[in-house]
Structure 1
Amino acid sequence: MTTLLSPAIDTVGEMTERCDRCGAAAKLEVVLTSGGDLAFCGHHANRHHADITKVASMIRIEDGFEWAGK
């Protein structure tokens, strides 16, 4: 039996990470259920929001960022 749970979402004041896709300032960081983490700029976070929620155990979002997955 498979149970789908939503990842925990935390809002942080400011992120210092860079996007793992393009190097821009990160607006969202994902802690993966399989271990490790990834950071995304606003563009890539919104573009891949459906996939992010599938693989995340925790999502950190910079305060003020409007994420499509929320």
Structure 2
Amino acid sequence: MQLDWSALGQVTAVSIGVTVAVVVVFALGVLGLARYEGSQDTGAGASTLGRAQAALCFLACATVVAYGIYLIVPQFH
């Protein structure tokens, strides 16, 4: 049995990279949500920028998860 170590290394590197990217984007979404809620607590007016940041980041995370499910489930192809 032959193992293509370079391909295994590429898959590992891409998996780690995408995982880190999704975690960072999710954290940015939580930060945007915190900014939005913090602006409401202080009465400084609703920060629509924080709300938009949170929505876009969470949408990006959901898109990556949906694409991963699409790749795993053969009935979707």
TM-score (norm 2): 0.20
Structure (1/2) with the larger strand percentage: 1
